[in-house]
Structure 1
Amino acid sequence: MYVRRIVPNVQSETLEESARFYGLLGFEEVMNHGWIMTLAAADNPTVQVSFMTDDKTAPVTPDMSIEVADVDAAYAALREQGAEIVHPLTDEEWGVRRFFVRDPNGRVVNVLSHA
């Protein structure tokens, strides 16, 4: 399983304030859909953190996102092992295919691939 990046997701009602604060540490806004904003390190764009008010289409806000090369293979492997799928495999309007799964620590993980 090839992992492209891992991004912590922070539930927040203060997206603008977060952007200013993390900007002081060298982060720049690379995505903003109004309900989720992702910041990346200016000198290393794979170092990222996301802030979200709530997830637009899922019942819960994930604790982290893991981008994989093949989301369908990840989904099949986790289902086969009996993992709890919190949000089904879905093609989202913003260009990702994703699902949410609960890890052994009770954390919700957004597993995704870009279209």
Structure 2
Amino acid sequence: MTVRRVMPILTSAAIEESRDFYALLGFEEVMNHGWIMTLASPAQPAAQLSVMTADRTAPVNPDVSIEVDDVDAVYAAVLTTGAEIVHPLRDEEWGVRRFFVRDPNGRVINVLSHRSGHDDD
């Protein structure tokens, strides 16, 4: 299993204001679905953060996203540990396959893989 990207997720109703603020730090908007916006550094595209009002299909907002190359394998491994699955493994309409799991610190982790032909979360 390979980790492709780790991205913090900030819960906020101030998406536009957040975009403007983080632009001061060198970030640019690379994706915006209205309820979640992702910002990235043009110089380091893997340096990203997202701002989310409320997750569209899950019961809670995650604290961080971890993109992996094989989400199904990670899901199977996590299930063997007895960790709390907060949102079951599923394909989302915006092109990702994902699940949420609670880590030992109580944080909700969005584990995902992009489905072929899609580039945004």
* TM superposition outliers: structure 1 runs of 4+ over 6 Å: none
Summarize deviations over 1:19-73 as a string: whole Å, max 9, x none: 0010011100000000000000110100000000000000000000000000000
1:11 pairs with 2:11: yes
Gaps of 5+ in 2: 116-121
Matched residue, 1:65: 65
Distance in 2 (CA, whole Å) between partners of 1:42 and 1:27 is 7
| Partner SS state of residue 94, structure 2 | coil
Q: Percent identical across equivalent pairs?
A: 71
Summarize deviations over 1:65-106 as a string: whole Å, max 9, x none: 000000000000000111110000010000000000000000
Q: How does 1:29-44 map to 2 (within 5 A)?
A: 29-44=29-44
Gaps of 5+ in 1: none
Q: What letter matches 2:8 in structure 1?
A: P
Q: What letter matches 1:11 in structure 2?
A: T
Matched residue, 1:98: 98
How many equivalent pairs are there?
115
| Partner SS state of residue 47, structure 2 | strand
| Partner SS state of residue 98, structure 1 | strand
Matched residue, 2:119: none
The normalised TM-score by structure 1 is: 0.99
The normalised TM-score by structure 2 is: 0.94
Distance in 2 (CA, whole Å) between partners of 1:22 and 1:10 is 12
| Partner SS state of residue 45, structure 1 | coil
Matched residue, 1:80: 80
Distance in 2 (CA, whole Å) between partners of 1:76 and 1:98 is 12
